[in-house]
Amino acid sequence: MPFYNVTLKKDSPPEELQKAKDKAVEQGGSIKHEYTLIKGFTVEYPADHVSVLESSDHIHVEQDGEVSIQ
């Protein structure tokens, strides 16, 4: 399963992040890391269910990927 970074959008209520975590786990995801400096988390999540997370107006979902400096 791919990894996704999920972050709370600016001015969104903090409880929306907990709702996103709960929804991710309910849909078969596994929380791998929770951030402390930003409101967000990384989840291992089924690619065919990512639209469920993306449907929220309060969070931003981005597939995790390798970062390189060229």
| pLDDT at position 66 over 80 | no
Instruction: Please determine, for residue 61, whether its predicted confidence score (pLDDT) is greater than 90.
Output: yes
**pLDDT score of 34 more than 90:** yes
CA distance linking residue 17 with residue 70, whole number of Å? 34
Classify 30 as helix, strand or coil: strand
The vertex-29 CA angle with 26 and 35, nearest 5°, equals: 110
| Structure token pair of residue 65 | 């990927």
Average of per-residue pLDDT across 8-35: 94
